[in-house]
Amino acid sequence: MRISTITLYQSGISKINSLQAEQSRLQQQIASEKRILTPSDDPLAASRVLELSHAQSINSMYLSNRKIANTSLTGLDISLGSITELLQTAQVTLVGAAGTLTADQKNTYAIQLTAQLETLIGLANTQDSAGNYMYAGYQNRTKPFTATATGATYNGDSNQQLLQVDGQRQLAVNAPGDSVFQAGGNDVFSAFSDVITILNNPAATSAAVQAGVATAISSIKTATNTVAAVWSSVGTRLNELDALNDVGSSRELQYAQTISELQDLDYAQALSDLTQKQTVLEAAQKSFVRITGLSLFDFIR
């Protein structure tokens, strides 16, 4: 077959061009560490990577929500611990006050209990690191409890602040004050306040005092149980967060692995391909020079 001289040059050049293009592609892949440079390289894998990185970003969003939830719940956990301790101390105080008391003793107990009530109100008005009140429901910028002559009034609401901590899980991260301190009509502040009023009343009969102390003991016991229930639910939620974190991090690992499998470059393969392409390119260049260097005109003298 005749081959025109132009064809000889063109086919040589186009082969060299395509080899160089393949080399530059490999070079780009190696530099970017990615197998897929544009979606068209592997459209299905590219859209899968997009989906997975979307899932990955949502997963990490939930992780950061869980961190926030963890901070809030840990604060709540510590605060509820202090409250429980205080209520137990108050019970011990009240048990001490259960017998027949002198006026001095009544006075001393009244002072002790008044101090405990003030501490309790202080604890019920605990703020988190952002300055939000922990026991105020949604009204977390308003001081939830103000002391009154008969205990304390609640200024918050009964709403639980929920956070999305996982795809299908919203977790309450606060404890509205009314459900902690005033649950089921048993107001712990009034319990304190009532017994303090009786102890401070010199006219109160010994029987009335004893009855008042007994009522207070029972009321504070109930309140302690309520707080304990809230405390344990907070503990359960903290445990759930840990569990969700475990699931989340194994999910993260799985996403990262799949994304890497889909788009990352097999270095060994790429480097060996590069070497191979170089060899072929060299051969193509050498043979091109050889072939085009042959001309009959060289032999015409």
- Residues of this chain that interact with other proteins (CB under 8 A) are 1-7, 10-11, 14, 37-44, 46-47, 50-51, 53-54, 57-58, 61, 64-65, 68-69, 130, 132, 136-142, 157, 159, 161-164, 167, 170, 173-174, 295-297, 300
Query: What does residue 217 show for φ and ψ, rounded to 5 degrees?
Result: -60, -45
Q: Which is nearer to other proteins, 133 or 192 (CB)?
A: 133
Shortest gap between Cβ of 289 and other proteins (angstroms)? 16
Least Å from the CB of residue 120 to other proteins: 22
What is the closest distance, in whole angstroms, from the C-beta atom of residue 63 to other proteins in the complex? Answer: 11
Task: State which residue, 10 or 150, has the beta carbon closest to other proteins.
Answer: 10
Per-residue b or e along 232-264, where b marks 16 or more CB atoms closer than 10 Å to that residue's CB: eebeebbebbeebbeebeebeeebeebbeebbe
Least distance CB 73 / other proteins (angstroms): 12
Please report how close the Cβ of residue 19 comes to other proteins at its closest, in angstroms: 14
Q: Which is nearer to other proteins, 34 or 221 (CB)?
A: 34
Min dist. Cβ of residue 25 to other proteins (A): 12
Q: Which long-range contacts (CB under 8 A, 24 or more apart) does 7-15 make?
A: 8/291, 8/292, 9/292, 12/284, 12/287, 12/288, 12/291, 12/292, 13/288, 15/284, 15/288
Expressed in angstroms, the distance from the first to the final Cα of the chain is 27
Q: Which is nearer to other proteins, 204 or 262 (CB)?
A: 262
For residue 133, the minimal CB distance to other proteins (Å) is 9
Q: Considering beta carbons, is residue 36 or 83 the nearer one to other proteins?
A: 36
Q: Which is nearer to other proteins, 119 or 288 (CB)?
A: 288
Backbone phi and psi for residue 171, each to the nearest 5 degrees, phi listed first: -120, 135
Two tokens, residue 239? 């445990």
For 174-203, the three-class secondary structure string (H helix, E strand, C coil) is: CCCHHHHHCHHHCCHHHHHHHHHHHHHCCC
Q: At what angle do helices 267-293 and 5-32 cross, to 10 degrees?
A: 160
Is-contact 204 212, C-beta < 8 A?
Answer: yes
- Closest to other proteins by CB, 28 vs 275, is 28
